[in-house]
Amino acid sequence: DFGYEDHYIAVLKGIIYSICPEAFVVDITHSIPKFNTKVASCILNFAYKYFPRETIHSVTVYPEVGTNMKALIMKTKNYVFVGPDNGVLSIAAEDDGIEKVYEITNKDYMRDDMSRTFHGRDIFAPVPAFLACGVKPEDMGVQVYDYHTISMEKSYVKNESITGEIIHVDSYGNVIMNIGKEQLDSLNVLDGEILEVHVGVIKYEIVFAETFSGISPGKLGLIIDSENLLELCVFKGSAAKIVSASIGDKIQLKKKS
């Protein structure tokens, strides 16, 4: 959540390349809403699986910086995740299958002049750089068995209705839900069919379409996105500007009666 306006990202990359010049750094995003670990965990979960095996993912969305919160390395079936123990790593790591978790305790792999406000610089840039250059996770700390998770409520189908919640609003203004394609399929919804959608206390009648262009310009539509999740969208527009909703708000939908 550092953004692009300040020097923070340049500092992180400078440290990584100073430690491991052969590293290759890919920016997933630096535009997470400030302090929002839930959104960060969703974005990481959307992105991690498209990277080559053994990629190291480092996350610094860390409002608790400077406290006694543990810094973690999570070794999963195919990847390595580095970040604070505030749950931000948990959804992606558990999705891939956690094998071992380490608390980073070896100060040889942290900056000497540790700050209480910039652990991204002091821990979460150096550690992945050393890992990329061949240092083993077990050399950086001790194995632990307890860690914090972020709980995401599951969507569910009941009485011909689906209930879920908003988990992300992307830069296009698409409002993404935790409702999957298989749940929508259980209602036998067809292309062009109208659904009743309750966003909080407000009811909308919204067309389901297979493509963005199947929605009338300026009108709300429902579509299955590239992650097989349901999203509210507007063809050549922003659903977020029409629907007054926030991440975590409840969504309920059913076929129009």
CATH no. for residue 140? 3.40.50.10790
The total number of structural domains in the chain stands at: 2
Q: Do residues 88 and 180 both lie within one domain?
A: no
Residues 109 and 36 placed together within one structural domain of the fold: yes
Computed over every residue of the chain, the mean pLDDT equals: 95
> Is-contact 232 220, C-beta < 8 A?
yes
- Asked if the structure places residue 185 within a domain, the reply is yes
* Closest by Cα among 56, 42, 119, 120 to 88: 42
Structure tokens given for 252: 């309920």
CATH number at residue 179: 2.40.30.90
**E strand or H helix that includes residue 200:** none
* Same-domain pairing of 36 and 106: yes
Verify that 35 and 112 share a domain, yes or no: yes
For residue 150, being part of any structural domain is answered with no
pLDDT attached to residue 106: 98
Do 129 and 14 sit in the same domain of this protein? Answer: yes
State residue 151's pLDDT score: 83
What's phi and psi for 70, nearest 5 deg? -70, 150
Number of H helices, E strands in the chain: 6, 13
Determine the Cα–Cα distance for residues 86 and 64; give it in Å rounded to an integer.
Answer: 8
Evaluate if residue 9 carries a pLDDT over 90: yes
Is 139 found in the same domain as 166? no
Same domain, 44 and 124: yes
Do 199 and 137 fall into the same domain? no
Res. 200 pLDDT band, cuts 50 70 90: confident
Residue 59 has pLDDT above 90, yes or no: yes
User: By percentage, how much of the chain surpasses pLDDT 90?
Assistant: 89
pLDDT higher than 80, residue 257: no
Quick one: pLDDT at residue 222?
A: 97
**Averaged pLDDT for residues 204-232:** 94
pTM summary value: 0.91
* Residue 201: both structure tokens together: 């206390």
CA-to-CA distance for 209 and 214, rounded, in angstroms?
5
- Which pLDDT does position 256 carry in this prediction? 85
Asked if residue 1 is part of any domain, the answer here is no
Tens digits of per-residue pLDDT, 83-139?
999 999 999 999 999 999 999 999 999 999 889 999 999 999 999 999 999 999 999
Domain span including residue 117: 8-144
The answer on 164 and 99 residing in a single domain is no
124, 144, 164: which is the final residue of a domain?
144
192 Cβ partners below 8 Å, 6+ apart? 207, 208, 209, 214
Query: 144, 165, 189 — which closes off a domain?
Result: 144
Label residue 167 exposed, middle or buried (CB < 10 Å: 0-12, 13-18, 19+).
buried
> Rounded distance, CA 194 to CA 176, Å?
18
